[in-house]
Structure 1
Amino acid sequence: MSEQHPRLRLSDTLHQPVRFSMTAALAAADQLDFADLRDAVQVSDSTLSKQVSVLETAGYVQVKKGFVGKRPRTSLKLTAEGRTAWSAHLATLREIAAG
């Protein structure tokens, strides 16, 4: 019997297009403010918030809430687990693309 197709190793969590885009943006930065990530992936606040919750529940994103002066600020960063999952997901996509 042949080995399993690489697509079976893709992360369902990361494969969703908005979460994929969010993770790509976060992987390229140490951390991003909520508004910067929202603008980078071009989604609404509510869409981003829902997808952040999914990634946070999976253990892939750390959410920090605080204030800058009197303004609330939410910052997001990939966890070590998130970076590992992202690297594995990309490696699998490359393997599939390479045929």
Structure 2
Amino acid sequence: MSIIEKLNKDFESRVRLGIMSVLVVNGWVDFLEMKEHLGVTDGNLASHITALETKKYIEVKKEFVGKKTKTSYKVTRTGKDAFVQHINALGRLLK
């Protein structure tokens, strides 16, 4: 298998790469904080979050703070492993 074949298509989007990067180095991150970090729209962030959640790369937690819903995200073990493999493949590609 070539190095380029080891890159994970699920992380080709810059938004997904950003989401995973933020989550790998943090614990739980809420929607507004993630949106600020990445500078994306609500809809754009939500669609990429859904794609990553479908792949079981991230965990989603919804809770009430007062009367408002707060949605937070955390990387799963599966997600972290897949992301680290992707980053390692990028590193090998750059060498």
- TM-score normalised over the length of structure 1: 0.92
Q: Once the two structures are aligned, what percentage of the paired residues are identical?
A: 29
CA distance in 1, matches of 2:81, 2:33: 23
Query: How many residues in Structure 1 have an aligned counterpart in Structure 2?
Result: 95
Structure 1 ranges of 4+ moved more than 3 A: none
> Aligned match of 2:24 in 23, 27, 51?
27
Q: Which residue type is aligned with residue 61 of structure 1?
A: I
Classify the secondary structure of the residue corresponding to 2:56. coil
For residues 21-74 of structure 1, the C-alpha deviation after alignment (integer angstroms, 9 at most, x for no partner) is: 111011110110011001101100000000000000011011111111112100
Classify the secondary structure of the residue corresponding to 2:87. helix
Gaps of 5+ in 2: none
Gaps of 5+ in 1: none
Aligned alpha-carbon RMSD (Å)? 0.8
Bigger CA radius of gyration: 1
